[in-house]
């Protein structure tokens, strides 16, 4: 009789997240909230809810840390975040700079 079998979603995207997501989309009018350099809001329909501060960096599911985002911006933001994450990793393979004096 227990519901324990159906809790699943222990990875953070269970029913609770779906509800939060709906609330954020509702709050933002189902539109992307990203602003361009001139401060104009993106006009695309929201396709996902994004964390302003990624969970890996200590971000929460609080509405203040969530924003609606379109597919295009989502790809861009996600790509940038993974670049940031990579930057924090020490690189042992720096490209060697050639001494200007040695160039032909
Ligand atoms: Zn957008």
Dist. CA 30–CA 12, nearest whole Å: 22
Please report the pLDDT score of residue 11 as a whole number. 61
Please report the pLDDT score of residue 77 as a whole number. 86
Please report the pLDDT score of residue 5 as a whole number. 53
* pLDDT, tens only, 33-83: 999 999 999 999 999 999 999 888 899 999 999 999 999 999 998 888 778
- pTM over 0.75? The answer is no
Instruction: State in Å: Cα 31 to ligand 1 middle.
Output: 8
Which residues surround the ion ligand 1 when the cut-off is CB under 5 Å? 32, 34, 42, 44, 70, 73
Q: Indicate the Cα dihedral angle 54, 52, 32, 41, nearest 10°.
A: -150
Query: Quick check: 48 and 20 in contact, CB under 8 A?
Result: no
């Amino acid at each position: 009789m227990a519901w324990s079998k159906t809790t699943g979603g222990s990875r953070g995207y269970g029913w609770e997240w779906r509800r939060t997501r709906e609330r954020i989309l509702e709050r933002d009018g189902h539109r992307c909230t990203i602003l361009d350099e001139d401060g104009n809001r993106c006009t695309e329909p929201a396709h996902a809810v994004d964390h302003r501060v990624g969970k890996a960096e200590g971000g929460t599911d609080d509405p203040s840390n969530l924003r609606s985002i379109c597919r295009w911006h989502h790809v861009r933001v996600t790509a940038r975040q993974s670049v940031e994450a990579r930057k924090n990793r020490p690189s042992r393979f720096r490209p060697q700079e050639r001494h200007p004096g040695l160039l032909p």
